[in-house]
């Protein structure tokens, strides 16, 4: 399923890229000639339409809610159709302008030819005053004038644009994509905010799932925790206070019971008993800050030994 989603993302990305490259330059080129001055700043509206198109394509694949995906898919289709309609209108408008220019050039050439023919026949009439020359003059003038007739509007390739509103070729091509892009962005925001999960819902769901997956008992602990907490201590083991070194601080030394005290670099003192049966040759008891008094240190050691005996 993830492979299909990745392929769908790729297809949507390529589609949006083709629409961006193939349509936006055409619209900007057309609108740049229509507008002038500060009004050309409004061409940034095409970027809003392009942003809405890309956002719709992304949400249509990656959104978690089915409603968001449906709205994004419909928005992407409508935006793509609108941009294609704008591009087709621009191409039709400029193609019609070119056809009219070509037709005007042909009509001008035909009119010049007709006038030249009329002038030639007029000279012949002035020289001969014959009826046959006059008849030929009238036929030639009529055929030349008929050749300059333009095609009917129904036969023109841009006749389909007559079904569009009169404001479409001017302001419609420029303003409609911008308004549609703003509407799509607002619509997607509303759907995500109102129909989707809240900002912290996904995180809380993940935390709940992680909490449910935590086992109630860890491997290796066969006895419940309360038996370790509420144990009954045996008689305390008398432990002499650690023998202070020559400096007067009980940071290291050996007491009368064979308990060794070793000061670490982090400022704590570690108490342990030599034990040849262990891999390190010592059995750890406890550790405490070096700032504790001798009595408190001895109490810590006695408590640790009691826990060892209870275990």
- Give the DSSP letter string of 154-216: GGSGGGGGGGS-TTIIIIIHHHHHHHHHHHHHHHHHHHHHHHS--TTHHHHHHHHHHHHHS-S
- How far is residue 231 from each of residues 131, 142, 224, 236, 306, measured CA to CA in Å? 142, 125, 12, 14, 11
Residue 289 bridge partners (DSSP): 268
Distance spanning both ends of the chain, measured CA to CA: 53
> What pLDDT score does 128 carry?
65
Alpha helices, DSSP H, located in 35-65: 45-62
Residues 154, 152: Cα–Cα separation, whole Å: 5
Specify the residue for token string 């064979």. 258
Across the beta sheet with 282-289, the strand order is 253-254, 260-263, 268-274, 282-289
Looking at residue 96, its pLDDT comes to: 79
Angle (CA) 153 83 51, round 5°? 160
- Which residue bears the tokens 């419609």? 172
Confidence (pLDDT) at 226: 47
Token reading at 275: 């034990």
**Tokens of residue 1, six digits:** 């399923």
Per-residue pLDDT of the chain (311 residues; tens, 9 = 90+): 578 878 888 888 899 999 999 999 999 998 888 888 888 898 999 999 999 999 999 998 888 888 999 999 999 999 999 999 999 999 988 887 777 777 787 888 888 887 777 777 666 666 665 556 556 656 666 655 554 454 555 556 677 778 888 888 888 899 999 999 999 999 999 998 886 555 554 554 555 554 444 454 545 444 444 444 444 444 444 444 444 443 334 445 555 467 888 888 887 888 888 877 887 778 888 888 888 888 888 888 888 888 888 87
The pTM of this model reads: 0.51
Closest C-alpha among 255, 266, 247 to residue 298: 255
């Amino acid at each position: 399923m993830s492979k299909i989603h990745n392929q769908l993302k790729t297809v949507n990305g390529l589609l949006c890229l083709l629409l961006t490259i193939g349509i936006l330059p055409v619209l900007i080129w057309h609108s740049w000639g229509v507008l002038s001055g500060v009004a050309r700043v409004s061409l940034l509206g095409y970027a809003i339409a392009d942003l809405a198109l890309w956002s719709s394509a992304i949400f249509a694949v990656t959104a978690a809610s089915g409603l968001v995906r449906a709205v994004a898919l419909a928005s992407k289709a409508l935006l793509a159709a609108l941009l294609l309609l704008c591009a087709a209108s621009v191409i039709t408008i400029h193609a019609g302008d070119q056809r009219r220019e070509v037709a005007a050039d042909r009509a001008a050439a035909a009119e010049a030819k007709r006038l030249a023919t009329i002038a030639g026949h007029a000279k012949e009439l002035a020289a001969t005053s014959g009826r046959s020359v006059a008849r030929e003059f009238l036929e030639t003038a009529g055929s030349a004038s008929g050749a300059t007739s333009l095609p009917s509007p129904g036969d023109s390739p841009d006749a389909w644009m007559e079904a569009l509103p009169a404001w479409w070729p001017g302001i419609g091509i420029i303003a409609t994509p911008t308004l549609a892009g703003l509407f799509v962005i607002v619509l997607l925001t509303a759907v995500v905010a109102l129909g989707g999960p809240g900002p912290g819902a996904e995180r809380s769901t993940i935390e709940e799932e992680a909490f449910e997956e935590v086992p109630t008992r860890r491997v290796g602990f066969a006895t419940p925790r309360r038996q370790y907490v509420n144990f009954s201590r045996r008689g305390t083991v008398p432990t002499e206070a650690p023998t202070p070194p020559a400096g007067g601080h009980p940071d290291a030394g050996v007491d009368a019971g064979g308990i060794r005290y070793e000061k670490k670099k982090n400022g704590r003192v570690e108490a342990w008993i030599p034990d040849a049966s262990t891999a390190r040759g010592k059995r750890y008891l406890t550790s405490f800050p070096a700032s504790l008094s001798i009595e408190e240190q001895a109490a810590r050691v006695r408590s640790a030994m009691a826990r060892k005996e209870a275990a």
